[in-house]
Amino acid sequence: MDHILDLDRYPLDKPGTNAWNDLVQRCREDMARGGMFNLEGFMRPEALERAMAEIEPVMDTLSFVHKRHHNCYFRDHVDGLSPDHPALQKVDTINHTVCWDQIPMSVPAWVYEWPQFAVFLAATLDKKNLFTMRDPLARMNIMKYGDGEALNWHFDRSEFTTTLLLQEPSGGGRSEYRSNLRTDDDPNYDGVAAALEGRDPDLKSFDMTAGTLNVFRGKNTLHRVTKCTGPQARYIAVFSYYERPAVTFSKEEQMGFYGRAA
């Protein structure tokens, strides 16, 4: 794995050592402070080149184009809100998706399956264990955002999201977010509306470089990736882990996300 990941800088292969413990502690502190951590240069440049060479032909020929006109909840109705409430304003998302079963022997797939990666993630998130999915479509996805395409405002369904940026876009593709905008007990609809309308002074943003690992708590954090511009698309790997083994999506969920069922 050392030829794929920079294990000198990020010693995921040495759990329990001082260097590993220091890295885990740093990630925990970043997560507590800002709701995420980033490891720049996590994947080596030569591994990124190989990954793109493996994935681009599949993306160009077999990817599923997913277009959505949605609110940030991905729901048609929200109890307690009128249809014209500003928290329910509609936005557009478009992306191209390649699923695990289309690239099972690719470089990102090796990272996803590497046991020490899940061990490290579990430690940074203070989880006893994390498991890869059984779902042959959803366990790992590669998302592409081309010129004029974006991942728009939303809350995540899962507690945390793990991504690895494989290629930066020519322009745009900036991540914007508002941490802890709601809680499980308080949906804070007026606060959501203020953020969507650009009236929230606590809105933050950041750029990622290719090779960066990002782990992000998005369930109660409103976030988006701005529209990409130019000829070079944004490619990002999305890794799905759960605290219980053998998780799969339903056939309906698979159809909704990927246009087909396993």
Q: Which of 260, 258, 261, 262 is nearest to 96 (CA)?
A: 258
- What pLDDT was estimated at residue 239? 98
Q: Could you tell me the pTM of the whole model? A: 0.96
Q: What is the DSSP letter of 5?
A: B
| Residue 94 pLDDT level (bands cut at 50, 70, 90) | very high
The enclosing domain of 253 has a CATH number of 2.60.120.620
Confidence of residue 8 (pLDDT cuts 50, 70, 90): very high
The C-alpha atoms of residue 63 and residue 97 are separated, in whole angstroms, by: 5
| 204 vs 166: CA distance, rounded Å | 23
Residue 70 lies in a domain: yes
Query: Percent of the chain scored above 90 by pLDDT?
Result: 98
Question: 103-154 pLDDT, tens per residue?
Answer: 999 999 999 999 999 999 999 999 999 999 999 999 999 999 999 999 999 9
> Does the pLDDT at position 80 exceed 90?
no
Name the average pLDDT for the chain. 97
Q: pLDDT for 154-165, tens place per residue?
A: 999 999 999 999
Decide if 34 is inside a domain: yes
Query: What does DSSP say about strands 171-172 and 228-229: parallel, antiparallel, or unpaired?
Result: antiparallel
H/E segment holding residue 139: none
Q: Which pLDDT score is estimated for 76?
A: 87
Is 36 within the bounds of a domain?
Answer: yes
Is 128 contained in some domain?
yes
Q: So what's the pLDDT on residue 72? A: 97
Residue 30: the pLDDT is 97
- Measured between alpha carbons, how far is residue 59 from residues 68, 100, 134 in Å? 19, 12, 22
Residue 100: its H or E element:
none
pLDDT band at 175 (very low <50, low <70, confident <90, very high): very high
Residue 13 forms part of a structural domain? no
Tell me, what's the pLDDT at 127? 97
In whole angstroms, what is the distance from residue 197 CA to residue 222 CA?
12
DSSP, res 227: P
Assess if residue 7 is contained within a domain: no
CB 169 within 8 A of CB 235: no
pLDDT of residue 247: 97
Per-residue pLDDT of 191-213, as tens digits, reads 999 999 999 999 999 999 999 99
The total domain count for the chain is 1
CA angle 258, 172, 167 (to 5 degrees): 60
In a domain, 115, yes or no: yes
* Residue 193 resides in a domain: yes
Q: For the residues 21-43, what does the mean pLDDT come to?
A: 97
Q: How far is CA 58 from CA 102, 105, 143, 230, 232, in A?
A: 7, 13, 12, 21, 16
Q: Which domain holds residue 92?
A: 18-258
